[in-house]
């Protein structure tokens, strides 16, 4: 199995609400999908998919998670890195304005960076972080190499 990833799929309770968060709230552009059923966004070389939570659980043959918002943390989190601590705060503010729930305000963290967390309308956690030891490239990709 090659060292790569094709898609992250987020199970959602209300596709219309989830699409409104990512498209109208965050300004993302829909790449494709099936109206009312599934939505795909191109994020660099991978995809983010939004798919009904029940359908996803059934597809994976897993038990449906607790449907109360914020109660469905399964131990996976997404991270979005930015160029400065100020950009962390600005991004968390933007996400909140778009309808996200702030889980943790931006703060200095023990590993030497600065980060906070928000949950999207379905409770999926996004860390927003500034990591001064990694390199964010102009195309949006990240590398573990130290910045020049």
Map the footprint of a copy of itself across residues 35-54, applying CB under 8 A. Answer: 40-49, 53
Give 19 or 124: the residue with its C-beta nearer to a copy of itself: 124
Question: Footprint of a copy of itself on residues 16-35 (CB under 8 A)?
Answer: 26-29, 31-32, 34
Nearest to 43 by CA among 83, 84, 10, 76: 10
Q: What are phi and psi of 95, to 5 degrees?
A: -65, -45
Work out whether 138 is an interface residue with a copy of itself (CB under 8 A).
Answer: no
Q: What are phi and psi of 18, to 5 degrees?
A: -65, -45
Bridge pairing between strands 114-119 and 101-108: antiparallel
Q: How far is the CB of 20 from a copy of itself (least distance, A)?
A: 14
Q: How far is the CB of 36 from a copy of itself (least distance, A)?
A: 14
Q: Per DSSP, what are the bridge partners of residue 107? A: 115
Choice from 11, 85, 106, 121 touching a copy of itself (CB under 8 A)? 11
Tokens of 37: 């059923």
Q: Are 39 and 10 in contact (CB under 8 A)?
A: no
Give 20 or 80: the residue with its C-beta nearer to a copy of itself: 80
Distance CA 25, CA 126 (A): 15
Q: How far is the CB of 85 from a copy of itself (least distance, A)?
A: 15
What track of x and - describes contact with a copy of itself for positions 83 through 122 (by CB under 8 A)? --------x--xx-------xx----x-x---x-x----x
Q: Are 65 and 52 in contact (CB under 8 A)?
A: no
């Amino acid at each position: 199995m090659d060292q790569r990833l094709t898609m992250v799929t987020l199970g959602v309770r209300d596709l219309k609400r989830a699409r409104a968060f990512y498209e109208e709230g965050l300004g993302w552009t829909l790449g494709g999908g099936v109206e009312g059923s599934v939505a795909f966004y191109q994020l660099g070389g991978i995809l983010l998919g939004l798919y009904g939570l029940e359908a996803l659980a059934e597809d994976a043959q897993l038990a449906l998670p607790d449907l109360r918002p914020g109660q469905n943390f399964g131990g996976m989190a997404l991270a979005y890195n930015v160029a400065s601590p100020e950009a962390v705060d600005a991004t968390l503010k933007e996400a909140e304005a778009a309808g996200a729930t702030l889980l943790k305000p931006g703060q200095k963290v023990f590993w030497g960076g600065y980060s906070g967390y928000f949950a999207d309308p379905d409770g999926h956690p996004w860390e927003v972080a500034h990591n001064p030891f990694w390199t964010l490239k102009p195309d949006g990709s990240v590398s573990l190499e130290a910045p020049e």
